[in-house]
Amino acid sequence: MEKIKLKIIGMSYSQAQTGAYALILGERDGERRIPIVIGGFEAQAIAIELEEMKPARPLTHDLFKNFADTFHIELNEVIINKFSEGIFYSQLVCTDSEGNIHEIDSRTSDAVALAIRFGSPLYTYENIIQQTGVTMDKEEETSASGDFSTEKSSDTSDNPLSENTLTELEGMIKEAIEKEDYEKASVIQKEINKRKKKK
């Protein structure tokens, strides 16, 4: 079966399911997109790594990466290999210290979080993208693209961070990470990124 290389387009709060998020993956060399509904914890794990935030202590996916590094296990690639009854299934293709290849079943949200940490490529098959792929218009893609916050979007007039200076925000994010309040840290990071883009 033909493999299609994917990239992460963005992530946003799901309007359809309370407490869930929509992870948008897209063809690296095409226009089709795969929206995947994931849980809040997994969304946070993906957002933290994409925003290059460093938790005070390793999260579960960081622990997995540290464990794999210690025992010389490589994550060669992640393949979204099945779609059934509205659920995506994935495999981690790994190499152990002796060069043996192993395929391990994984939830897709965990597989994506690990692929980011290992710097591993992400693939799916043509039949899956034909079955689940959509073509988003520019407005929809812009609203999802690069928005890795796990916080519900709000009007800028209601933004409590708008009054803080960049220096204050950087202090606040450090404090949030130390307290392991990653949701708050993600929101602050989004505000910092927005300010830096305006410069």
Domains located in the chain, CATH noted: 3-150 (3.10.690.10), 154-199 (no CATH)
Task: Report how far residue 99's alpha carbon sits from residue 140's, in angstroms, rounded to the nearest whole number.
Answer: 43
Q: Where is average pLDDT lowest: 21-30, 64-73, 77-86, 88-97?
A: 21-30
Q: Is the pLDDT of residue 114 over 90?
A: yes
Q: What share of the chain has pLDDT > 90, as a percent? A: 46
Q: Where is average pLDDT lowest: 15-19, 22-26, 131-135, 163-167?
A: 15-19
Helix or strand holding residue 140 (H, E): helix 138-144
pLDDT at position 169: 80
Q: For residue 178, name the pLDDT band (cuts at 50, 70, 90).
A: confident
Q: For residue 97, name the pLDDT band (cuts at 50, 70, 90).
A: very high
Mean pLDDT across 182-192: 77
Coil vs helix vs strand at 121 = coil
Expressed in percent and rounded to 5, the helix, strand and coil fractions of the chain are: 40, 30, 30
> Mind listing the pLDDT tens digit for each residue in 47-67?
889 888 888 888 899 999 999
Task: Report how far residue 112's alpha carbon sits from residue 49's, in angstroms, rounded to the nearest whole number.
Answer: 11
Higher-scoring residue by pLDDT: 110, 17 = 110
> Mind listing the pLDDT tens digit for each residue in 118-168?
999 999 999 999 999 888 665 555 555 555 544 444 444 467 787 888 788
pLDDT at position 152: 46
Q: Where is average pLDDT lowest: 23-32, 42-51, 71-80, 170-179?
A: 170-179
Angle between helices 40-50 and 182-198 (to 10 degrees): 40
Higher-scoring residue by pLDDT: 19, 106 = 106
